[in-house]
């Protein structure tokens, strides 16, 4: 079957846009092909800085024939109706229509028209120009005198179609004066000039010969392998950086790694600042000494050309720029160090954090909240000191240049100024965790400051009524809540969220000079607690737990201890995975359903207080005794927070409950017996709901 090869050749496409653009090209073209009746076997897309390429294999030569059927008026209908039907169906005479008999409606006309399929080349010639004109670039503009909007000037369009064994044909069309053809360009410098291609395999081979590696994944593999080899040859290790590898792969068509160096005096600057400088300004990789793990004064740049001088001039150019940038970094480092962090912190008063309130006010609130989370006076003292300095590096020169180093530079400045190591660590780690793959802090002082900072952030925006909505979360509040949850669970901390939120509310009042605006305190605190419940569901679900079990536990009164909720959910999940648990859940739902129906019918609620003297059969007595024993065991197990024992106590109910439902009719003819049995069902519900609200559990 024929294959389609499409290439859109332009000036350099920004690296950050290439992946999405190639995916969009595939989706838009293949989707339109299928809509037009042209199914295919496979489709692949590729991108280089100067081209987007799509290869679609296994297309038919034409779309399938179709049979259109149009129902007309009854036989004997007025001439006007018949004329309208013939015109709509494209008939020259009513005799060209078929007469169909319908037992109920009588005879009527039907026009059946066979539509020939269209040639694939004609369909492609319509689809591709439309896709190009409507292409969803994040940013685009008109280039030259034409009307076409493209991310960079579009120079040529290659579009061929044909079977593997034959010479493909050019799919002819025109977009803004650019005519489709069968030619492309090789490397801008090493192989300038046109290349005529036939099909995909031929295209890839000729591009490779013209110093263009089409596949971005292969370019990335080449960068990794060659850079590691180059580093190894010098006895060094490459600091791996996947994001940078992929970005550089989008900047070059023929990757050539080169090693350069910089003055060793710049190594006085922290490693992370050196790496950020070299990465941001020159897209270069840094190297470490495997013996020490520290950065060396070497780097690897990736050129887009095999230079005649072996890359000497390219390397020298990178060295000059990197030297200048590192000189700036060294200046920032030394300038920042000349001022104590306490003095930097004073500048926070002039920085607006949100609304009319400043970063200094925010920090003061964090400071006030640290005492709530601290477990000792020494810990509280250190946490308060760390919270006062935590945001100080935001006003430094280095963080102003490289915002991603916030916290980290604060730690370095603190250590250089002989601040307590626990305080310095907390300055860096209070931002953690910043994502699902980021580690949670384990240092006690860091934990306290991180919890205080994140809870103040949440309470701040909840008070301002600026909560996340749908997919929008501009202040990263979901991440802050998940961060608190991960810190609490990861360090097995016992924290009452209601109390913590209330304390955060008062801490905000302490830190604020202008007062707090926004939602009513009680309402917003309850809403924030509910938000934590939703985030906990996400976290536990990611760990394999069922979200309905979180609902069942959270529905219990006063459930705001995240660690205990997680442990109870874990025990509940293990219990429900057993036969006893699954059958008992079924029995619970049966009891709850009967109660709901009968209470609605009777207009009253039945309390969990059955009268033992009113039992009519032994099965009632057996169930009552089992419930009394189980309730006592459950209460004691919950008091010592042994949730597994609480579940074991519930499991003992399975036999008596099953026997009761098998042998006893709840809705007895005797009204008193019936009422007492309904109270027994209420007792089943009450006993089990002490562990979790089983009504919230699916299944």
Count of CB atoms situated within 10 Å of the CB of 530: 11
Q: Which domains does the chain have, with CATH numbers?
A: 3-62+119-209 (3.30.70), 66-115 (no CATH), 216-336 (no CATH), 342-544 (1.10.3210), 572-696 (1.10.730.10)
Phi and psi at residue 520, in whole multiples of 5°? -60, 140
CA-nearest of 404, 408, 379 to 392 is 408
Q: Quick one: three-class SS letters along 404-430?
A: HHCCHHHHHHHHHCCCCHHHHHHHHHC
∠ CA 607-609-612, rounded to 5°:
145
* CA pair distance 298, 313, nearest whole angstrom: 16
Residues forming beta bridges with residue 352, ordered by sequence position: 358
CB 28 within 8 A of CB 21: no
Count of CB atoms situated within 10 Å of the CB of 95: 8
Residue 488, classed as helix, strand or coil, is helix
CB 279 within 8 A of CB 244: yes
Averages of pLDDT over runs of 10 residues in the chain (699 residues) are 95 96 97 95 97 96 85 85 86 84 80 86 97 96 89 96 90 96 96 92 96 98 97 96 96 97 96 96 96 96 96 97 97 96 94 89 96 96 97 96 96 96 97 92 97 96 90 93 96 95 90 53 83 90 87 87 93 93 92 94 94 94 95 95 94 93 93 95 95 89
Q: What is the pLDDT of residue 516?
A: 46
Tell me the CA end-to-end span of the chain in Å, nearest whole number.
Answer: 50
Q: What is the pLDDT of residue 699?
A: 67
Count of CB atoms situated within 10 Å of the CB of 10: 18
């Amino acid at each position: 079957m024929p294959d389609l090869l499409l290439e859109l050749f332009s000036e350099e496409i920004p690296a950050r846009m290439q992946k999405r653009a190639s995916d969009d090209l595939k989706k838009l073209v293949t989707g339109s092909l299928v809509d037009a009746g042209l199914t295919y076997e496979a489709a692949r897309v590729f991108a280089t800085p100067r081209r987007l390429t799509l290869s679609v294999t296994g297309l038919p030569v034409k779309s399938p024939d179709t049979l259109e059927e149009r129902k007309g008026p009854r036989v004997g209908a007025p001439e006007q109706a018949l004329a309208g039907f013939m015109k709509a169906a494209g008939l020259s005479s009513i005799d060209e229509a078929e007469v169909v008999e319908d037992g109920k409606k009588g005879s009527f006309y039907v026009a059946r028209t066979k539509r020939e399929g269209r040639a694939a080349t004609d369909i492609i010639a319509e689809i591709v120009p439309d896709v190009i004109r409507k292409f969803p670039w994040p940013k685009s503009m008109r280039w030259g005198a034409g009307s076409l909007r493209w991310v960079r000037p579009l120079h040529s369009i290659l579009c061929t179609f044909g079977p593997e064994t034959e010479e493909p044909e050019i799919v002819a069309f025109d977009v803004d004066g650019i005519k489709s053809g069968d030619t492309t360009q090789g490397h801008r410098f090493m192989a300038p000039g046109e290349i005529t291609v036939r099909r995909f395999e031929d295209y890839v081979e000729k591009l490779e010969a013209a110093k263009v590696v089409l596949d971005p994944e292969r370019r990335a593999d080449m960068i990794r392998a060659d850079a590691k080899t180059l580093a190894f040859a010098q006895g060094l290790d490459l600091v791996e950086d996947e994001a940078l590898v992929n970005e550089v792969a989008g900047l070059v068509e023929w990757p050539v790694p080169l090693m350069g160096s910089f003055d060793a005096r710049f190594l006085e600057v922290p490693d992370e600042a050196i790496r950020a400088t070299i990465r941001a300004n020159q897209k270069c990789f840094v190297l470490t000494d495997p013996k020490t793990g520290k950065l060396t004064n070497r780097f690897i740049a990736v050129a887009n050309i095999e230079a005649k001088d072996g890359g000497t001039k390219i390397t020298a150019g990178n060295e000059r720029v990197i030297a200048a940038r590192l000189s700036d970094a060294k200046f920032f480092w030394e300038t920042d160090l000349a001022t104590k962090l306490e003095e930097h912190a004073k500048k926070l008063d002039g920085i607006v954090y949100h609304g009319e309130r400043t970063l200094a006010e925010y920090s003061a609130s964090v400071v006030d909240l640290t005492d709530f989370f601290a477990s000792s006076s020494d810990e509280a003292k250190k946490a308060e000191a760390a919270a006062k300095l935590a945001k100080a590096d935001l006003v430094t020169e280095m963080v102003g240049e490289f915002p991603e180093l916030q916290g980290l530079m604060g730690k370095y400045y603190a250590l250089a100024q002989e601040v307590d190591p626990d305080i310095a660590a907390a300055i860096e780690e209070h931002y953690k965790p910043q994502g699902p793959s980021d580690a949670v802090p384990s240092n006690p002082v860091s934990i306290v400051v991180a919890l205080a900072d994140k809870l103040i952030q949440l309470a701040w925006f909840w008070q301002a009524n600026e909560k996340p909505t749908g997919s929008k979360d501009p202040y990263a509040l979901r991440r802050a809540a998940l961060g608190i949850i991960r810190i609490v669970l990861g360090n097995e901390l016992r924290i009452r969220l209601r109390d913590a939120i209330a304390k955060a509310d008062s801490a905000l009042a302490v830190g604020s000079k202008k007062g707090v605006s926004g939602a009513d305190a009680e309402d917003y605190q309850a809403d924030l607690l509910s938000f934590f419940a939703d985030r906990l569901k996400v976290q536990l679900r990611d760990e394999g737990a069922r979200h309905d079990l979180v609902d069942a536990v959270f529905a219990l009164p006063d459930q705001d201890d995240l660690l205990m909720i997680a442990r109870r959910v874990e025990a509940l999940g293990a219990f429900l995975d057993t036969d006893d648990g699954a059958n008992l859940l079924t029995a619970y739902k049966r009891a709850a359903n009967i109660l709901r129906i009968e209470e609605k019918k009777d207009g009253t609620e039945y309390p969990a207080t059955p009268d033992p003297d009113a039992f009519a059969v032994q099965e009632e007595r057996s169930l009552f005794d089992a419930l009394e024993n189980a309730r006592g065991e459950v209460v004691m197990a919950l008091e010592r927070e042994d949730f597994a024992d609480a579940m074991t106590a519930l499991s003992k109910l399975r036999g008596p409950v099953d026997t009761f439902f098998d042998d006893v009719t709840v809705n007895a003819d005797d009204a008193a017996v019936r009422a007492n049995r309904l109270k027994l069902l209420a007792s089943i519900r009450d006993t089990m709901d002490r562990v979790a609200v089983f009504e919230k559990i699916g299944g």
